[in-house]
Amino acid sequence: MLTYLVRRILSSIFLIFVVSAVTFAIFFLVPRLGGATADDLASRYVGKSAGAAQIHQTAVKLGFTDPIWVQYGRFAKGLVVGANFDYGPGVEHCPAPCLGYSYLEQQPVLPEIIDRIPVTASLAAGAAVMWLVGGVSIGVLSALRRGSLWDRAAMTTALAGVSLPIFFTGQLLLLFFAYKLHWFPGGGADPTQATSPWDWAYRMFLPWTALAFLYAAIYARMTRAGMLETMNEDYIRTARAKGLKERTVVIKHGVRSALTPILTIFGLDLGLLLGGAILTEKTFSLPGLGKYAIDAIDKNDLPKILGVTLVAAAFIIVANLVVDVLYAVIDPRVRTR
Amino acid sequence: MTAVPRPDATVDQADRSGVEPDATGIGGLGRAPEDSYLSVRDLQVHFPTDDGLVRSVDGLSFDLARGRTLGIVGESGSGKSVTSLSVMGLHKPGTVRMRGSIILDGTELVGALPEEVRRLRGKKMAMIFQDPLSSMHPFYTVGHQIIEAYKVHNSVSTKVARAHAIDMLGRVGIPQPDRRVDDYPHQFSGGMRQRAMIAMSLSCDPDLLIADEPTTALDVTVQAQILDLIRDLQQEFNSAVIIITHDLGVVAELADDILVMYAGRSVEYASAEEVFDHPQHPYTWGLLESMPRLDREPTDRLAPIAGSPPSLIQVPPGCPFHPRCTSRELVGAPCHTERPAFRSVAPAHHIACHLDAPSRARRWTEMTESQP
């Protein structure tokens, strides 16, 4: 188990570097391959009235004139040992792991990203609890009452949930519950400003609901399918043959097996969301990683885009690792292999 | 096992004159029904489906006393497993229509509340399934699953239940039971798993044990061990056992009585000796003829029963076996139109066939003599 863990962690670190290289290539190499010169790239980061000489000076300063591998090497070195930037008035040190230095705001990217994480984490964690509890229980009930009115109503709602985009359901929620009924705050309710856990939940309730609705729908359908399959297993018949109560049969023997594959997907979904729930954050104007990413793309601030992409990738890789370890805890057949 | 046709014309004539000679009515095989622990009468198990009504079991009766073993034999789809699941009350509610009567130790199970049947499951009646790997939960240890079975019906601490589980594993012949109790099913071999299944089903000392194809998924060498184990435990616990199988070798080994099923009906019901030595039903003849035997020349070809079992939605009219029966021309029309009554042809020997005794004797002679 320990060697497995060490091996997985090492390969995860390797994977982070691969992701960083690919992301770097996409944002820094592709425009050059498309014919843009170093000066073209640099022209975005100087004022509109800048002359050619000033643009070229900026290009040299930002390192665009160096070969691409030198540029990446500088970035990778920053990740490992930190870097010094002298874009601005003075020299600023960016300690390892340094994700880069914003061209426009002239400050290191990582602290900004770290500032945004609590917002996104609030959103993802709350919504995850909602969709997991909601989706799984709806799925289990639907499977147990397959073909009933409940099942059909739940699955139709789930189909709607899967199909409707968040910016639609989110706007709808805001319209009714915030602007008409005034039950919940409108957009921009920053959870990090909350004064109490209640206030936190109050601020986040609508974004949670919008995000959880989508995922609950997917999870309800997956859980239903998994439960239908599991309840036909021979070991369920054995559990009944032992005279166990139906509730024990369903929960202890059925749901436990049906949830195992769902756990895998849950880990990945959560990892993905921690890297930024772009649509939800945009809809509810939450200053999280997703909104940070959109703003960075809007302004073409390459180090920010690169940084947030890497953080998101790291979340997914860590989530994947956690899921694989948890899987071994849940399913003993994986453990002994 | 040389079968000799039997001059049983007298019994048959008595039967023909309308006298039901067996005092116990159907299937008691000479014992009064009050002796029997399990008594099934005219059981019908039907499943409504989109394609029509599936008559999986259609008029089945038998009796089983403590300490006796009944072998239920038949091809796939003959209703063997459906019968056992009906006794255990394991059909999905709402999908099945059950009629008739199943009396277990004086309690009527057909139409009983599911909760009532659940309390009996595992405690008074238990079941062993065909594939022990898929029949045990992969996520729980073998010990946990036995403890669970014991604790549903006995209010004891987990510690006591665990000691009991270890004891049961030892009794079914698992070495080092105090260590293996914490193993998962996938860490057991096939035969060990079936032993563990048996330990689990016997943990509450049930009086009725139903073994549904208990050896089908096992190696031949392990099969014999498991059958021995079932027999030994039966003697130890003095329980009633139903062995469901398509393997006549298994019943020959274990069963006191044999019930041959075809298309959801019983076609022959007698003691094991009677069925092997004096089989009376053409279907039973077919089963015996298709079985490899050591007393035959190795060059002899086995004689399979032609055709395949009928659809249980459209069971052939008359005798359901008539399309495959090699003796039907001896009777003629009734085979196609009239459902044969399940009647007594010898003491404690019932069949459902239109053939009269002389024809049966002649046919069986022909069949056995055609084999050198």
- Which of A237, A242, A257 is the closest to B139 by Cβ? A257
Average pLDDT, chain A: 86
Closest chain B residue to the Cα of A330, Cα to Cα:
B139
The answer to whether residues A220 and A270 belong to one domain is yes
Q: Which residues of B touch A253 (CB under 8 A)?
A: 137
CA A220, distance to chain mean position in Å, is: 21
Helical residues (DSSP H) of B103-171, grouped into ranges: 114-120, 142-153, 158-171
Note the pLDDT tens digit of each residue in B70-90.
999 988 888 888 999 999 999
Work out the pLDDT band at A74, boundaries 50, 70, 90: confident
The shortest C-alpha distance from A253 to chain B (Å) reads: 7
Q: Which residues of A touch B122 (CB under 8 A)?
A: 241-244
Task: For residue A242, count other CB atoms closer than 10 A to its CB.
Answer: 28
Arithmetic mean of pLDDT, A134-138: 93
Does A64 map to a domain? Answer: yes
- Which of A242, A246, A332 is the closest to B139 by Cβ? A332
Does A320 map to a domain? Answer: yes
Instruction: Report how far residue B54's alpha carbon sits from residue B95's, in angstroms, rounded to the nearest whole number.
Output: 11
Q: Which residues of A touch B148 (CB under 8 A)?
A: 242, 244
On whether any CB of chain B is under 8 Å from the CB of A242, the answer is yes
Note the pLDDT tens digit of each residue in A140-189.
999 988 888 999 999 999 888 888 888 898 889 888 898 888 888 877 77
CATH code, domain carrying A312: 1.10.3720.10
- Which of B119, B129, B152 is the closest to A234 by Cβ? B129
Note the pLDDT tens digit of each residue in B270-317.
999 989 988 999 999 888 888 777 666 666 677 788 888 888 888 888
The answer to whether residues A319 and A258 belong to one domain is yes
**Domain coverage including residue A36:** 2-81
DSSP for A126-162 reads HHHHHHHHHHHHHHHHHHHTTTSHHHHHHHHHHHHHH
From residue B168, how far is each of B147, B173, B204 by CA, in Å? Answer: 10, 9, 10
Angle separating helix axes A302-330 and A109-144, nearest 10 degrees: 40
Q: Do A237 and B90 touch (CB under 8 A)?
A: yes
Please check whether residue A98 is in contact with residue A82, taking contact to mean a CB–CB distance below 8 angstroms. yes
Does A103 map to a domain? Answer: no
Instruction: Report how far residue B310's alpha carbon sits from residue B321's, in angstroms, rounded to the nearest whole number.
Output: 8
pLDDT of B9 > 70? The answer is no
From residue A88, how far is each of A37, A65, A107, A201 by CA, in Å? Answer: 23, 18, 9, 40
Instruction: Report how far residue B112's alpha carbon sits from residue A57's, in angstroms, rounded to the nearest whole number.
Output: 91
Residues ≥6 apart with Cβ < 8 Å to B219 = B190, B191
Note the pLDDT tens digit of each residue in B204-225.
989 999 999 888 878 888 888 8
On whether any CB of chain A is under 8 Å from the CB of B121, the answer is yes
Q: Do A245 and B139 touch (CB under 8 A)?
A: no
The shortest C-alpha distance from A258 to chain B (Å) reads: 12
On whether any CB of chain A is under 8 Å from the CB of B336, the answer is no
Q: Do B120 and A240 touch (CB under 8 A)?
A: no
- Which of A242, A331, A336 is the closest to B148 by Cβ? A242
Q: Do A234 and B119 touch (CB under 8 A)?
A: no
**Pair of tokens at residue A103:** 């061209």
Sheet of strand B97-104, all strands in order from the earlier edge strand to the far edge: B52-65, B36-49, B97-104, B107-108
Q: What percent of chain A has pLDDT over 90?
A: 22
Note the pLDDT tens digit of each residue in A221-272.
999 999 999 999 999 999 999 999 999 999 999 998 998 889 888 988 988 8
Q: What is the predicted ipTM?
A: 0.83
The answer to whether residues A49 and A125 belong to one domain is no
| Cis, peptide link before residue A97, omega less than 30° from 0 | yes
Q: Which residues of A touch B88 (CB under 8 A)?
A: 241
Q: Do A241 and B121 touch (CB under 8 A)?
A: yes
Does A86 map to a domain? Answer: no
Closest chain B residue to the Cα of A231, Cα to Cα:
B92
Helix (H, G, I), strand (E, B) or coil at B83: helix
**Pair of tokens at residue B119:** 């309390």
Q: Which residues of A touch B187 (CB under 8 A)?
A: 336
pTM above 0.90, yes or no: no
The answer to whether residues A137 and A207 belong to one domain is yes
Closest chain A residue to the Cα of B136, Cα to Cα:
A235
Does A173 map to a domain? Answer: yes
> Which amino acid type is present at position B210?
I
Task: For residue B34, count other CB atoms closer than 10 A to its CB.
Answer: 11
From residue B242, how far is each of B105, B131, B233, B276 by CA, in Å? Answer: 15, 17, 13, 18
On whether any CB of chain B is under 8 Å from the CB of A147, the answer is no
The answer to whether residues A36 and A124 belong to one domain is no
Does A28 map to a domain? Answer: yes
Query: Among B85, B116, B133, B135, which would you mutate to test the A interface (most chain A Cβ atoms within 10 Å of its Cβ)?
Result: B135
Note the pLDDT tens digit of each residue in B93-117.
788 999 999 999 989 999 889 899 9
Query: Among A242, A245, A255, A336, which would you mutate to test the B interface (most chain B Cβ atoms within 10 Å of its Cβ)?
Result: A242
Residue B336 burial (C-beta neighbours within 10 Å; 0-12, 13-18, 19+)? middle
Does A59 map to a domain? Answer: yes
Note the pLDDT tens digit of each residue in B127-170.
999 888 899 999 999 999 999 999 999 999 999 999 999 999 99
The answer to whether residues A153 and A21 belong to one domain is no
The shortest C-alpha distance from B111 to chain A (Å) reads: 18
Q: Which residues of A touch B207 (CB under 8 A)?
A: none
Say how many domains are in chain A: 2
Please check whether residue B80 is in contact with residue B74, taking contact to mean a CB–CB distance below 8 angstroms. yes
Can you say whether residue B41 is alpha, beta or left, with left for phi > 0 and alpha for psi between -120 and 50 degrees?
beta
The answer to whether residues A231 and A302 belong to one domain is yes
The answer to whether residues A49 and A141 belong to one domain is no
Does A240 map to a domain? Answer: yes
Closest chain A residue to the Cα of B184, Cα to Cα:
A332
Q: Which residues of A touch B136 (CB under 8 A)?
A: 235, 238
On whether any CB of chain A is under 8 Å from the CB of B49, the answer is no
Instruction: Report how far residue B55's alpha carbon sits from residue A271's, in angstroms, rounded to the nearest whole number.
Output: 53
Owner of token pair 């549903």 = B152
pLDDT of A124 > 70? The answer is yes
Q: Do B138 and A238 touch (CB under 8 A)?
A: no
DSSP for B21-74 reads --TTSSS-TTS-GGGEEEEEEEEEEEEEETTEEEEEEEEEEEEEETT-EEEEE-
The answer to whether residues A298 and A180 belong to one domain is yes
The answer to whether residues A273 and A153 belong to one domain is yes
Closest chain A residue to the Cα of B151, Cα to Cα:
A244
DSSP for B290-327 reads TS--TTS-TTSPP-PPSS-PPPSSSPPSSSTTGGG-TT
Please check whether residue A283 is in contact with residue A166, taking contact to mean a CB–CB distance below 8 angstroms. yes
The answer to whether residues A257 and A162 belong to one domain is yes
Helix (H, G, I), strand (E, B) or coil at A287: coil
* Structural domains for chain B: 9-64+88-124+259-370 (3.40.50.300), 126-205 (no CATH)
For position A43, what pLDDT does the model report?
81
Instruction: Report how far residue B281's alpha carbon sits from residue B288's, in angstroms, rounded to the nearest whole number.
Output: 11
The answer to whether residues A140 and A189 belong to one domain is yes
- Which of B119, B122, B134 is the closest to A241 by Cβ? B122
